[in-house]
Amino acid sequence: MGTAVSLATENGGTVCAVVVGSEVKKYTDELIYWGADRVYLVEDQLFENYNNELYTKVLQKLAEKYDPEIILFGSVFDRRDLAPRLAARLGTGIISECNDLYYDEDKTLTAEKISFGGRFSGKVVFADGTRPYIVTARPGVLRGSRDVNRTGEVIMEVPDAGPQDMMTQIRSVAQAAKKVVALSDADIVVSGGKGAGGPEGFKLIQALADKLNGVVGASRMAVDLGWIGYEHQVGQAGATVKPKIYIACGISGASQHIVGMWESDIVIAINTHRYAAIFNFADYGIVGDMFEVIPKLIEELDK
Ligand SMILES: Cc1cc2nc3c(=O)[nH]c(=O)nc-3n(C[C@H](O)[C@H](O)[C@H](O)COP(=O)(O)OP(=O)(O)OC[C@H]3O[C@@H](n4cnc5c(N)ncnc54)[C@H](O)[C@@H]3O)c2cc1C
């Protein structure tokens, strides 16, 4: 929504949101608060669970009806699946996983992408004549602002899409037992890496996060070792975070981790290795053992 609002402000467009699902009307106000002028609501029991064939058809029909200039998706798992299908169906191009999106001086829609684990960054534009522009953006890269006084229009849509469009059928859905971690929206993230040494180390990291009202993040190494769930992973293959404070404990600072947290306002790194790469990205570096440093930090915070 933040990206959509900023593009519409730059180029004088209308921000529209699409909500597809069952019992999803409750989300329309929130989308308006975040900047939607208009919300297209497709609500039916049929859409309860995500199905790429059915959802593609719904969006194709809406795109054909309303002819949008740009279609934006947050780059999360189901939309990464949906966006390229929709692009193929509409016969257009797609720029995926962009970190920024704006109109340049010539009014050309320009996406900035970070690739190869943060080693390269570049600008990407669509070929002439490509329309609509389909772009997926990493969540949290461009935050909007919420205003409960904003008003907008909600339009019910009944697109011509149904069971006949589905080649696969969902028989049942299992919910993950673990609770969802609101990493992307957190103001304070305390992350642990291989230096945490095991699940015990993560208890200490959790204690510091609790003290700061923050959430726990992790490097991929810690996740792969089974010390903490994937829902906590920060980085290229995990969440992108942009907190006010990011505390990295026992994390070396590999580019694949950095790409997920480099836009944090303040970075504090705790690492035993004086020359760990993470210190290059830190505002405050503590060379030390996290098992000594974290209890001292908690003690100070208690005071
Ligand atoms: C395609 C691909 C995608 C990837 N995606 C991600 C991703 O999304 N997120 C991610 O994080 N990684 C990702 N990686 C992995 C990444 O390359 C690194 O391997 C990983 O980030 C390293 O994790 P780490 O820093 O915890 O471990 P290490 O690199 O082993 O670093 C551990 C650090 O802890 C320090 N340390 C040890 N003991 C202590 C102690 N007691 N107190 C304080 N410090 C201590 C050490 O000095 C060291 O710097 C990806 C890799 C690939 C190839």
Q: CB neighbours of 86 closer than 8 A, spacing ≥ 6?
A: 56, 59, 60, 63, 71, 134
Given the CA of residue 219, which atom of ligand 1 is nearest to it?
Answer: 11
DSSP 144: -
- Global pTM reads 0.65
Q: Considering only CA atoms, which residue is closest to atom 52 of ligand 1?
A: 256
Given the CA of residue 194, which atom of ligand 1 is nearest to it?
Answer: 26
Q: How far apart are CA 232 and CA 181, in angstroms?
A: 7
Cα end-to-end distance, the chain, whole Å: 41
- Which segments in the chain show pLDDT lower than 70? 116-119, 140-141, 176-180
Give the binding-site residues of ligand 1, using a 6 Å CB cut-off: 193-195, 219-222, 233-238, 250-252, 254, 256-257, 260, 270-273, 276, 289-291
Torsion of CA 260, 262, 267, 269, to 10 degrees: 70
Query: Can you give the pLDDT at residue 177?
Result: 62
Write down the architecture of domain 188-302 according to CATH: 3-Layer(aba) Sandwich (3.40)
Q: How far apart are CA 234 and CA 297, in angstroms?
A: 23
Each domain of the chain, given as residue ranges in start order, spans: 2-165, 188-302
What is the best residue among 97, 114, 256, 268 to mutate for testing ligand 1's pocket, by most ligand atoms within 8 Å of CB? 256
Query: Can you give the pLDDT at residue 17?
Result: 98
Both tokens assigned to 6: 């900023």
Same fold, 2-165 and 188-302: yes
Q: Which fold has domain 2-165?
A: Rossmann fold (3.40.50)
Task: Give long-range contacts, CB 8 A cutoff, 24+ apart: 7-13.
Answer: 7/70, 7/101, 7/102, 7/103, 7/109, 10/102, 10/103, 11/103, 11/107, 13/69, 13/70
Q: CB neighbours of 218 closer than 8 A, spacing ≥ 6?
A: 191, 192, 193, 202, 227, 228, 232, 233, 234
Count Cβ neighbours within 10 Å for each residue of 16-49 and write b for 16 or more, e otherwise: bbbbbbeeeeeebbebbbbbbbbbbbbbbebbee
